[in-house]
Structure 1
């Protein structure tokens, strides 16, 4: 059985002229090292998202009631149509805070949505209206030695070491959650859990409802 958010994505991608799917990713560091690191980080996240998708396909095969080829084609389509949207501008974005990213992202959404923000459902995908990812200097440091060659069967020791940041536009935060944890509509996301995040935010749950560890890390 295919998880509902994944089935929604497959259905959308099968439509005529369906756009590619993928996270909106902000680059907010422009240090000399970042020009080497940023492309590697995008390559890493693309590879691990595909890895998650293929793992979900493998776990869905036994319970899928339809033709096996139909299931395989659906997951292959997801992999083939994955293209993140990269937003980078050294003049505007160099060193800005996560709250600054949120403000820019909200304006970016409004530009696409005729001023109606994420309430306009006539463009993009739901997740693209509910979360963006951020690669800043801290993320570059966390992923400095990240390499898919180090991964074998599972994420193992790297699950909580390799992460990017996520920002929710127009965050809806439970008052108790805000006071108890200081949650501000941002969190760290393990690079092994990005497709989980995509499907969770497609639903979408407000980010404050998502399980995070004591360090504010989401692992799915």
Structure 2
């Protein structure tokens, strides 16, 4: 966090989050002069998702994004991986734009687009890795990261997993602008970093692993600013709970939809 002796408009690049896999540190001139945002009308639009997100988060929370583990490694997946990852990113950015009907000043959405940067863990040693193995490695990383185990940054509350079913769902999904109601959405897995088996605050039947439908990842990131992952899904017994905002559903291992009791409220903003 910036000290009082260091004006926010002159923040050095090392204030921002950095991962060792990135070739260079992320920086952005607008984020180094955040104090100027108060001069814009959009900064006070608390009901606008992008504005609220930029207002609430401190400099250390940027760039925002997910840590993603790839757990399928075949000759075919090696060839498809760049295209699949690109489509994953397009879904996130399309969702950001869809949640704003303002046409005049798109600056906050543009800043959210430009401050998105995921961490990709792609190494064949993770081929077929289990949820427990991924969680153990993720927690080991968080120990070394400032504020990692505080779980105040959505990036650190859980990590995404692209396994064989997730890769297939992305591969066969339409482009986000072509998705229509009634179509099954592509999805990714998500490991809950805060899950501890047997702890009383964990819901019965919740195992610390969910799936997230694309088209809802950006809003999930917003919700994780104030909620924990286990609060956002319904336990699904033998199936895998699926996050899709307030709808509630589940899947089997292969990604086939399954029925689950619906009990979710509306969006919080």
The alpha-carbon deviation at position 3 of structure 1 amounts to 4.3
Q: Alignment partner of 2:160: what SS?
A: strand
2:46–2:52 contact (8 Å) kept in structure 1: no
Aligned partners of 1:77 and 1:219: how far apart in 2?
A: 25
2:207 to 162, 184, 204: 184
* 2:168 equivalent to 1:141: yes
Q: Deviations over 1:95-139 (max 9, x none)?
A: 1111211111111111213xx742276xxxx11111111001221
Aligned to 1:28: 71
1:9 to 47, 53, 56: 53
Aligned to 1:56: 99
Q: Which has the higher contact order (CA 8 A, sep 6+)?
A: 1
2:49–2:99 contact (8 Å) kept in structure 1: no
Q: Which has the larger radius of gyration?
A: 2
Q: Alignment partner of 2:75: what SS?
A: coil
- Per the normalisation by structure 2, the TM-score is 0.63
Distance 1:199 1:3, change over 3 A: farther
Aligned partners of 1:96 and 1:175: how far apart in 2?
A: 27
1:157 to 170, 174, 182: 182
The alpha-carbon deviation at position 81 of structure 1 amounts to 1.8
* 2:120 equivalent to 1:89: no
Aligned partners of 2:83 and 2:56: how far apart in 1?
A: 29
Q: Unaligned 5+ residue runs, structure 2?
A: 1-44, 246-269
Aligned partners of 2:134 and 2:163: how far apart in 1?
A: 11
> What is the root-mean-square deviation of aligned Cα atoms in Å?
3.0
Q: Deviations over 1:6-58 (max 9, x none)?
A: 4453247895x984221111111111121123222221121111111111221
Q: How many residues align?
A: 197
The alpha-carbon deviation at position 144 of structure 1 amounts to 2.9
Q: Deviations over 1:147-176 (max 9, x none)?
A: 307x43x54233x44111011112268758
1:219 to 237, 244, 265: 244
Q: Unaligned 5+ residue runs, structure 1?
A: 63-67
